[in-house]
Amino acid sequence: MTTIPERHEIPDAHKWDLTPMFADDAAWDALFRETEARIPGYKTYQGRLNESASVLKEAIDYDLSVNRSLELLYTYAHLRNDEDKTNATYDGLFQKAVNLYARIAQASSFFTPEVQAIDETTMKGFLADPALSGYRFFMEKILRYKAHTRSEEVEELLAMSAEAMGAPSRIFSQLDNADMRFGTIEDETGKTHELSHGNFIAFLMNPDRGVRKNAFTTYYEAYEAHKHTIGASLSSAIKKDLFISRAKRFDATLSRALFADNVDKEVYTGLIENVRNGFSPLFDYLSLRKSVLGVDALHIYDTYVPLASDVAFHMDYDEAVEVTLEALAPLGEAYVSTLKKGLTGGWVDRYENRGKRSGAYSSGCYDSNPYILLNHDATSINSLFTLAHEAGHSMHSHYSRTTQPYIYGDYTIFVAEVASTLNEALLGRHLLEKYKGDKKMETYIINREIDNIRGTLYRQTMFAEFEMRIHAMAADNQAITLTTLTDLYGSLLSDYFGDTLEVDEALKLECLRIPHFYSSFYVYKYATGISAALDIAGRILAGEEGAVSRYMEFLTLGGSRFPVDELRIAGVDMTRPDPVNNTIAHFGSLVERLKTLLS
């Protein structure tokens, strides 16, 4: 029987190197105490922000300095915590960092109301002062929140509640990553395996339908056993978002979520409308899948297995790095050489261990490397694409932080998925060229790209519609029960799969295992991101003049502009339906190509 290794059993060469942040935990604790001691310093500026541009600048710089230290502390703590959710020491560090964040937010809560209380004439004079020349967009973002900022007392109370408000997400994360066990299953050879988040998809890709079905059933039995607890947790998270939105005087939770990025609601609703109008190629693909697999009814556990199932894939981490770097060569030597140093030099925590956070991500702060958490599986082509995906995030972070000052060093989530998904697109084209003439591999790769678009455009849009509708129900004072959640999710499954899929009752529990639902209205950005990314990738691969330079400029922008404006610099307008519709058309062309390969 294979089991998940403990953290100490993973070789150091396969772990990320966090020592550039802190040599040891004692160094972290020293900065923690130093940052904590600076909290009373905020009182120096309280009530004085209207005195002069120089005082306002001094206050901004003080706040930025404190938060820069806080981000470093938080980054180290959360990365250590994610290495092993059962490690009490690092769980404690993480809790201390979250608590410090809440206390700093409370101490600085006067800042925004005071800035917004400065009369328009005085503020205009401040913004014209050379002292604030590099802060104008930063100030613009604060001033546009004027209608949604409460009194200093209310803002202080909201800041004080931040840690408690994070309880639903934290409870779900601990249950899902640390406490839940998913049992064991047998593979096609009779060998027993412990089932986990990390290997679940790999089992769904198994050519043996019995193994796939067993993995699906066993995995969801764990959610069935905890469905009431998780349902209550998700319901609480939805109500928490509604409370904050109302407290901030937004007409809806969605409005609040879109406001920060200055994204029109029509971008969100238009995405859903355009995707719903583009179901035809999706249904066509699922019907093709059913036919090729030769099943009487297609189930969700039949939608992951490659249709070229006799292709054996194996690529260990080091080889995956080399292939990824080859694929990204169109982005230039500087991009590739920097990424190589990172992927082989301590940015990445490569393999699964017991208690480690599931999935994958890129994370870091202005003063750290752009670290990557993986759970690499050499037998899964998805792991290769995941590496390229997270590398895109990390390089976006690298360029933003090395080009922009701290105040604009972070890009928004709206543009975050563009760099990552573009890398996947370049990798897919590279693999097709690499295996040109090998019909089985071509089928395998095109099938993978189809499933990636299906999972990113169609699936994430379904998630986005679920969020929009469940939050609207909460705003309408409807009870958000377990049945409410699963019934709504079940109806969307029926819409997005039509009559091409047999929706198992257990699949309705899928809404309980999506961690992004605890960061409301996040998932739609995956769908808009892949649409923008495929547009840019197409231009780069076609050799369009200036496409690479425009894209590289986009990577350096950080948070210096609103995200829709940044994408325009890259050559994409997300306020129009074209990027989404073009992605659906591209999906349809891939399905037709797959039909030809399989005929």
DSSP codes, 495-541? HHHTTSS---GGGGGGGGS-GGGGSTT-THHHHHHHHHHHHHHHHHH
pLDDT score for 328: 98
Q: Any residues with CB less than 8 A from the CB of 336 and at least 6 apart, and which? A: 325, 328, 329
> Looking at 83, 390, 442, 566, which residue is catalytic?
390
Say how far apart CA 79 and CA 506 lie, in whole Å: 33
Statement: residue 34 has pLDDT above 90: yes
Q: Is the distance from CB of 384 to CB of 320 less than 8 angstroms?
A: yes
Statement: residue 312 has pLDDT above 90: no
Instruction: Say how many CA atoms lie within 13 Å of 119 toward its Cβ.
Output: 3
Condensed to tens digits (0 to 9), the pLDDT of residues 426-466 reads: 999 999 998 898 898 899 899 989 999 999 999 999 999 99
| Residues 499-510, mean pLDDT to the nearest whole number | 97
**Looking up tokens 């879109």, which residue turns up?**
258
Instruction: Say how many CA atoms lie within 13 Å of 360 toward its Cβ.
Output: 25
What domains can be seen in the chain, in order of their start residue? 7-168 (1.20.140.70)
Confidence class of residue 155 from pLDDT cuts 50, 70 and 90? Answer: confident
**Helices then strands (H, E): number in the chain?**
26, 5
Condensed to tens digits (0 to 9), the pLDDT of residues 158-195 reads: 988 988 999 999 999 999 988 999 999 999 999 999 99
- Active-site residue 390, yes or no? yes
Statement: residue 311 has pLDDT above 80: no
Contacts 24+ apart (CB under 8 A), 465-469: 465/272, 465/492, 466/492, 466/511, 466/517, 467/517, 467/520, 467/521, 467/523, 467/524, 468/254, 468/268, 468/269, 468/272, 468/521
pTM, entire model: 0.85
Condensed to tens digits (0 to 9), the pLDDT of residues 328-378 reads: 999 999 999 999 999 999 999 999 999 999 889 999 999 999 999 999 999
Statement: residue 1 has pLDDT above 80: no
